[in-house]
Structure 1
Amino acid sequence: MIIRQLNEANNSTRRVVSPDGNWESTRLLLKEDKMGFSFHITTIYKGADFRMHYQNHLESVYCMSGTGEIVNLEDNTVHPIQEGTLYILDKHDRHILRAHTEMKMACVFNPPLNGNEVHNKEGAYELA
């Protein structure tokens, strides 16, 4: 059994802040935990507007608070995000994420992250 506290993880190397200033993520469950996925609590800062394309990972994101939108770059559809919204990037979807207010998100990645990843120039996380 694994037990972790978010407030403790926030004060450790599990908290990663993006170099571009768009987000911070506390990685509560990682590859080393051998669960087959990773679980993060991520804050998207108000005004963030950035492209992502997770070529190596699938991701599910649940919005716990805040408002924003996600743009599917395959067809340019815009989907609002608010508390209670779940979006699933099941096809390595190229997308833009915009935060109208600060958003708190619960994120699951498959395969799991190692812990210190930040987005590369294409908006993806590299595989280990």
Structure 2
Amino acid sequence: MIVRTLKDCENSERRVVSETKTWESTRMLLKDDNMGFSFHITTIYANTETHIWYQNHLESVYCMSGEGEIETLSDGKVYPIEPGTLYILDKHDEHLLRGKTEMKMACVFNPPLSGKEVHDKNGVYPLSDSA
């Protein structure tokens, strides 16, 4: 059994802050935990926009608090995000994520992240060598 607290993870190397200063992610469950997915609590900062395109990963995101929106770049559709909203990037959807207020999100990635990933210039997380 694995038991971790958010507080402990936030005070460790599991907390990653983006170079763009638009988000931070506390990676509570990672590839080395051998569960087949990773689980993160991500904070999207207020009044920010982040370009994301997970070409190598599928992600489900549940909003726990805050407000924002997601815009899919393939069709320009904009979806509001508020507490209780779940969005699923099931087609490697390229998108813009905007935080109107600070948002706390619970995120699941498949394949799992190893822990230190940050978005590259195209909004992509690299695929781990031994996925």
SS of the aligned residue for 1:8 comes to: helix
- 1:85 pairs with 2:76: no
SS of the aligned residue for 2:74 comes to: coil
Q: Alpha-carbon deviations, 1:23-49, whole Å to 9, x = none? A: 000000000000000000000000111
Structure 2: runs of 5+ lacking an equivalent: none
C-alpha displacement at 1:51, in angstroms? 1.1
The residue aligned with 2:123 is 123
C-alpha displacement at 1:50, in angstroms? 1.7
The residue aligned with 1:98 is 98
TM-score norm. by structure 1 comes to 0.99
C-alpha displacement at 1:94, in angstroms? 0.6
1:13-52 → structure 2 map (5 Å cutoff): 13-52=13-52
Q: Alpha-carbon deviations, 1:75-98, whole Å to 9, x = none? A: 100000000000000000010000
Question: What is the aligned length?
Answer: 128
TM-score norm. by structure 2 comes to 0.97
Structure 1: runs of 5+ lacking an equivalent: none
Aligned structure 1 segments of 4 or more residues deviating by more than 3 angstroms = none
1:52-67 → structure 2 map (5 Å cutoff): 52-67=52-67
C-alpha displacement at 1:126, in angstroms? 0.2
Question: 1:60 is aligned with what amino acid?
Answer: S
